[in-house]
Structure 1
Amino acid sequence: MFSYDATTEAVTVSVRPAYLDDQSDVLAGRFVFAYVVRIENGGADEVQLLRRRWVITDGRGHVQEVEGAGVVGQQPTIAPGGDHEYQSFCVLPTFEGTMHGSYLMQRENGARFHAQIPRFHLRALAN
């Protein structure tokens, strides 16, 4: 699996996408992609992931934005030198697309910043 990485204020977000052929249905226009996200805290302060914002674009250029609290029901706190990893999925009506976005992070002192989620490609039979 290819990894896409971005670092913002010492927080590195890495994404590894994969096409799920066994859960997809080409004739029905249903293409399922999984992705594993790893968030590493390379800074000196603890950070907490509060919110997520995803921008999902399919192969026809249709854009969908998804926002919400935390990731997969959690708002993880990541210690200095620590990481948090989770897996999720996306269903597209086309063979390919892209995803990118940001996480709203908060430091121990209350300061907030947006950690970039790198743009990554979703391609049926290619990931």
Structure 2
Amino acid sequence: MRFQPYVAATLLATLLPVVAVAAERPQLGLTVENGLLLRDGKPYRGIGANYFDLFYRMLKDPSDESSRNGLRQLSRADIPFVRFMCGGFWPVDYELYRRGRPALVQERSPLSKLDRLDQIAQETGGRH
């Protein structure tokens, strides 16, 4: 019990400089301040599109890159992001998820397909 004040004082002395530096650092990326969405400190209003089967196509057939053209068209229209289904639709589509972590991290897993989708989005001019 006698060590508690010492431990508390040590933690406080260690963490205060970190908190002070973090408070001075400008926040980048998306933040909310007083109910207003900000991007890099400036008001931001994002407009995107629903692209329901963007990932589902790759989930069903890993070699299917037909969504590349759709992402390219969205990029040309200056639509910065899409909302898409990030899983299966039918129960059979969740087999990889039901098998657990080893199935998710293998080369042809849903997560590797998401990595591939991200790569395609970058190649077609998409932002993420």
Question: Which bin holds the TM-score, normalised by the shorter protein?
Answer: under 0.3
**Could you tell me the TM-score, scaled by structure 2's length?**
0.26
Q: Name the structure with the higher helix share.
A: 2
Name the structure, 1 or 2, with higher relative contact order (CA <8 Å, separation 6+).
Answer: 1
Q: Name the structure with the higher strand share.
A: 1
**Could you tell me the TM-score, scaled by structure 1's length?**
0.26
Q: Which has the larger radius of gyration?
A: 2
